[in-house]
Amino acid sequence: MIAHVTLHVSDYETSKSFYETTLLPLGYVLSKDFSDASVSGFKSGEGNHDFWINADGAKQTTHVAFEARSKEEVQSFYNAALEAGGTDNGAPGYREDYGPGYYAAFILDPDGHNIEAAFFES
């Protein structure tokens, strides 16, 4: 159900090293490293990158992405979240910079947490 989680960290290099070491026994490896943006993604085996760290000082909130089964579910999530009082943080659409076939929508919840619904088109 959860596609991925992003933790915002205060020291990117220290946290990256910490999670590389700590998650290795669980089969997780650092496989996406955007050091220029202070963002790293970890994954286990051939799965998706389901754990991320980000040292973006402007955001100190949590990011959770729920996996959707279709583009229509992403749209329904987005509509329901807006109706429930969420704030648009990225309308439904392809996010090619995240990877081919990555279709998602982003909402800020009442506390400012970035909540996403993501569909991975095959």
Q: Taking the domain 1-59, which CATH number applies? A: 3.10.180.10
Q: Which residues of the chain have pLDDT under 50?
A: none
Model pLDDT, residue 49: 85
| pTM summary value | 0.71
Model pLDDT, residue 74: 94
1-59 and 61-122 agree in CATH topology: yes
Question: Which residues lie below 8 Å from residue 85, measured CB to CB, with a gap of 6+?
Answer: 110
**CATH superfamily, region 61-122:** 2,3-Dihydroxybiphenyl 1,2-Dioxygenase, domain 1 (3.10.180.10)
